[in-house]
Structure 1
Amino acid sequence: MSQSPSQIAYDLLTAEDDGRVCRDIPEKACNAKEANFAIHVASLSMSKMADGLVDPKLILSWLLTTAGAPAAIIGMLVPVREAGALLPQLFTAGHIRNMAQRKFAWAIGAFLQGAAASGMALAAFTLQGWALGFSIIALLTLLALARSVCSVAYKDVLGKTVAKSVRGTATGTASSIGAGFVIGFALLLTFVGEHKLMLVQVGLASAGLFWIFGSLNFLRLAEEKGANEGGGNPFTLALENASALKQDKQLFWFILTRALLTATALAPPFMIALGGANDVNTQAFQGLGLLLLASAGAGLISSYIWGRLADRSSRKTLALSGLMGGLALALSVVADLLGWLNSIYMLPLLLFGLMIAYQGVRLGRSTHLVDMADKDDRAVYTALSNTIIGVVLLAGSIFGVVGTLFGAHSVIGLFALMCFAASACALRLNEEQH
C-alpha cells in the first residue's frame, strides 16, 4: 500500500517506532499520529511565516515611519504587541484550559490574527500618517489578543495530539520553515529597489491568508475531548503570592533585571525611526531587507551559543546580554550624532548586535526562572513575573511620547542606560546552575 504524503514526511522527520510514539497520547491521536504531526507542522509554519511578515519591531515600524506616523504611535507598536499577547493570558488561561477540545481556541485565535493582518494590509494601501498609525495600533491590539489565546491553547493541544518523543521535531521543523521564509522575504526586500512599500503591503495581505489557512487546517486535528486539567487563574495566583517579592530577594532582583531588559525588545522601532528621521529616502532607511536579515541572522547564529551559556550560568548570560544590548544602543546614538547612519550597512549592523543581545535575554531569563524555582514555587514565580512584566511592557508606550518630544535618539539613550543597569542587577543573582 502506498504511503500518504503525511506518512512519508512523518517517517523522514521522526524515525520513531509505534510503541514509543503511542505511549503518552490518547488512542484517537495515536491512530492519526502522522496526520496530526503534519497538521501541526503546516499550521505552525504558516503562523510563523505570518509573524515574520507582521513583525512590529521592523516591518510595521518601517511602514509607519515611511507613512509619516509620529514617534508616539511607532513607540506603541512593541508594547501593544508584547503586553497584548502576555497580559490577557493571566485572565483567560483558566477558561481556555477548561475547554474539552482546545484546537478550536487556537483556530479562532489564528483566524482573528488573519483578519487583523488583512485589515492592516487594507489600511497600508489606503491610509497615511496619523490615520494609518491609529488603524495599525487598533488592529495590532486585536492581533495580540488573538495571539494570547493561541499561546495558551497550543502547548495543551500539542500535548494531547503529538507524542512527547516527536513534539520538539514538530515545533522545530515549523520554526526552521518560518525562519527560512523570513530570510527569503528579507532577501527579496533587499533586491526589489523602489518597490519595498508595495512588497510590505502584499506581505501583510499574505500574512492574513497564512493565518486563515493555518486556522482552517488546524481544525482537522484528531483531538479527543477531556484532559482539561490546569484551569487555574495565573493572575489570582500572582495576587495571592505577591508577598514572595519581599520574602525572596532573588525573585525581586530577577524581575527587576527582566524589566530593565525589556529595552532590548522595545528599542528596534526607535532605531528604525532614527534611520528615517532626517530623510526617508536615505540608503540606510531603505535597507529594510538588510534589517530583516540582521534580525533573523542574529537569532540563527546566537541562539545555540546563548543556550549553552545559559546552561552554565544564566546569571552571566543575562549580565552579558544586557551589556551587549547597552553597547549596541549607545553606539546607535553615537552613530546618529556623527552621521554614520547614512551608510546602508550601519543600522543593520547595530540592529544585529542588539538582536543578538535580545536572544540572550530570552534564553537567559527562561533558564534562570526555571532553575531558581523548585516545582512548588515555579508556577507562582512565573505568574508573578509575567504579571509585572506585562504591566511594564504596557507602560513602555510612554517612550513613544518621549520620542515625539525629544527625538528617537533620546529614547535609545534611555534604553542603553536600562540595559547597563540590568547588567549590574543580573550580577546580584545567584549562580543557580552550580
Structure 2
Amino acid sequence: MNEAVEKAYAKVTGADDDVPATEARNGLRHVLSLSLTKVADGLIDPKLVLSWLGNALGAPAAVTGLFVPIREAGALLPQIALAGWVQSMEQRKWAWVLGSAGQGIAAAAIAVAALSLSGLYAGLAICAALAVLALSRAACSVSYKDILGKSIAKRRRGAVTGTASAVASLAVVGFALLLMSGLLREQAPVIVAIGLAAVLWLAGSLLFSTLEEEPSERAAASKLDLSPLREDRDFRLFIAVRGLLTVTALAPPYFVMLGGGQGALQGLGALLLASSGASFASSYIWGRLADRSARLVLAISGMCGAAFAALAVLAETLGWATSGYVVPVILFGFMLAYQGVRRGRSVYLVDMAPEDQRSSYAALANTAIGVLLLAVGALGGVLALAGPVVALGGFAVLSLAGGLLALRLRDEKA
C-alpha cells in the first residue's frame, strides 16, 4: 500500500523515488482534502453563485452587494488575531480542520436560509452565515501554509496545491455545463449545490484530521510581532505586489457587465465555466512553474492579467463585446492570469518566510491585503461609476504595475 501511495504521489509531483513515505501519504491527503474544499469554494462562489441566489430570492441589491466584501476581506482581516492561536498549537492541522468544518456549517446555514426565507431577511441571513464562513476560512488560511511547509518539501508544494485546484475545477466545470444546458430551472439547483458544498467541507475536515503532522514547538499566544513589516524589505515588496494584483480577484464582475443579454442560469453557467475551465487548464502548470520561480509566476500572471483586461476594454470600445463568445473567451484568459497570481503568491510566501514564522508572515500579509482589497475594491467602485470599461482600464494599469514590481522580488528558488 505504501509503495502504491508513493508512486501516486511521485506521479503527481514529479518527485524522484526517494520521497519519504510519510510525505507521500500526507501529500495525497493534502490533494484530496484541498480538492474537496476547492470544489465547495466553486459551488458557493460569492462573486457569482451567491450574488445570483440573492437576486433570485429578492434580497435588496444593497445587501447582495455586501456578499463579496464580507467573504473576501472577512477571510483576511482576522488572520492577524488568529496567528497567535495557531502558533500556540502543537499540531496546527486542527486549526484547518475546525476552519473547514466551520465553512461547512455556514454553507448549510445558507442553504437553509435560501429554502426558508426571502427578500431582505434572506439576504441578511446569508450575510451572517458568510461572516462565519469567512472567519472559518481565515483559520484555514493562516494555518495551512505552516502545515504545508512542515509536511511537503519545498519543490513539491506548488504541484500539490496546483493538482488539487485542477481536480476541483473540473468538477465545477461539470456544474457550469449543467447550468448552461437549459435543463435546470429556478434556484433549486443552486441551493442543492450549496448543500453539497457543506458536505464537501465537512468531508475535507474529516480527511485532513488524519494528517501525520510532527508536533511544533508550542508558543504562547501573544500579540503578533509586526517587526517583519519593518525589517524585511522583500516582505514589504511582496505585500505591495500582492496588493496591486488583488485586481485579478475584483475584476470578473466587470467582465460580466460587458456581456449582458444572457439568461439567468445560463449566464451564471457561462461565467462559472470560464472561471473553472481556466483553473483546470492552468493550476497544475502554474504550480509546477511556481516550484521553479514563484517570483516569475507573479510577474507573468500580472502582465497577462493587464493584457486581458485591456483586451476587454478594446472589445467593448470596438463593439465586439456584443458577440456571444468574445467576453467569455477574454474572461477565460483573464482567469488564467488570476490562477497564476494565486499560485505564485502562495508558494512565494511559504518559501520566503522563516520556518518558525510562517503563520505570522501569512497573517501579516493577509491582514494587509484585506485592507488593500477594500481600498482597491472601493477604487473599482468609483471607477465603475463611469462604466465597466473605465474600471477595467484602471485594473489593467494596476495589474501591469504589480507584474513589473514582482520582477524586483528576490528569487527564493536561487
Map 1:210-229 onto structure 2 (within 5 A). Answer: 210-216=200-206, 221=210, 227-229=215-217
Map 1:40-51 onto structure 2 (within 5 A). Answer: 43-51=33-41
**Structure-2 separation of matches of 1:43 and 1:374:** 26
Report the CA distance between 1:396 and its aligned residue. 4.2
Q: Does 1:269 align with 2:253?
A: yes
Report the CA distance between 1:353 and its aligned residue. 1.4
Please say if residues 117 and 208 of structure 1, whose CA atoms lie closer than 8 Å, have aligned partners that are also in contact: yes
Report the CA distance between 1:393 and its aligned residue. 1.8
Amino acid at match of 2:49: I
TM-score (norm 1): 0.73
Map 1:255-404 onto structure 2 (within 5 A). Answer: 255-276=239-260, 282-283=262-263, 286-306=266-286, 316-336=296-316, 340-366=320-346, 384-399=364-379, 401-402=381-382
Which deviations, in whole Å up to 9, do the C-alpha atoms of 1:278-317 show, x marking residues without a partner? x5xx259833333222222222333455456656765554
Please say if residues 75 and 397 of structure 1, whose CA atoms lie closer than 8 Å, have aligned partners that are also in contact: no
RMSD of equivalent CA atoms: 4.5
**Structure-1 separation of matches of 2:152 and 2:299:** 37
Q: For 1:412, what is the secondary structure of its paired residue?
A: helix
Report the CA distance between 1:358 and its aligned residue. 1.1
Q: For 1:195, what is the secondary structure of its paired residue?
A: coil
Amino acid at match of 2:230: S
TM-score (norm 2): 0.76
Please say if residues 79 and 394 of structure 1, whose CA atoms lie closer than 8 Å, have aligned partners that are also in contact: yes
**Structure-1 separation of matches of 2:212 and 2:292:** 39
Q: Which runs of no fewer than 5 residues in structure 1 stay unpaired?
A: 1-5, 25-32
**Structure-1 separation of matches of 2:407 and 2:173:** 35
Partner of 1:3: none
**Structure-2 separation of matches of 1:146 and 1:55:** 15
* Change beyond 3 A, Cα 1:303–1:45: closer
Report the CA distance between 1:264 and its aligned residue. 0.4
* Change beyond 3 A, Cα 1:163–1:123: same
**Structure-1 separation of matches of 2:317 and 2:304:** 20
Partner of 1:150: 140
Q: Does 1:243 align with 2:230?
A: yes
**Structure-1 separation of matches of 2:321 and 2:95:** 45
Report the CA distance between 1:113 and its aligned residue. 0.9
Please say if residues 88 and 221 of structure 2, whose CA atoms lie closer than 8 Å, have aligned partners that are also in contact: no
* Change beyond 3 A, Cα 1:316–1:158: closer
Report the CA distance between 1:389 and its aligned residue. 1.5
Moved more, 327-336 or 394-403: 394-403
Q: Does 1:13 align with 2:3?
A: no
Q: For 1:344, what is the secondary structure of its paired residue?
A: coil
Map 1:194-213 onto structure 2 (within 5 A). Answer: 194-195=184-185, 197-213=187-203
Partner of 1:106: 96
Q: For 1:237, what is the secondary structure of its paired residue?
A: coil
* Change beyond 3 A, Cα 1:313–1:70: farther
Partner of 2:84: 94
Q: For 2:89, what is the secondary structure of its paired residue?
A: coil
Please say if residues 74 and 400 of structure 1, whose CA atoms lie closer than 8 Å, have aligned partners that are also in contact: no
Partner of 1:120: 110
Q: For 2:99, what is the secondary structure of its paired residue?
A: helix
Partner of 1:182: 172
Q: Which runs of no fewer than 5 residues in structure 2 stay unpaired?
A: 11-15
* Change beyond 3 A, Cα 1:345–1:126: farther
**Structure-1 separation of matches of 2:4 and 2:412:** 40
Report the CA distance between 1:208 and its aligned residue. 1.5
**Structure-1 separation of matches of 2:335 and 2:391:** 17
**Structure-2 separation of matches of 1:100 and 1:371:** 21
Moved more, 255-264 or 178-187: 178-187
Amino acid at match of 1:295: S
Moved more, 343-352 or 311-320: 311-320
Q: For 1:332, what is the secondary structure of its paired residue?
A: helix
* Change beyond 3 A, Cα 1:369–1:389: same
Partner of 2:13: none
**Structure-2 separation of matches of 1:305 and 1:105:** 29
Amino acid at match of 1:243: R
Which deviations, in whole Å up to 9, do the C-alpha atoms of 1:236-276 show, x marking residues without a partner? 222x343337xx3x555443232111100111233335545
Please say if residues 297 and 344 of structure 2, whose CA atoms lie closer than 8 Å, have aligned partners that are also in contact: yes
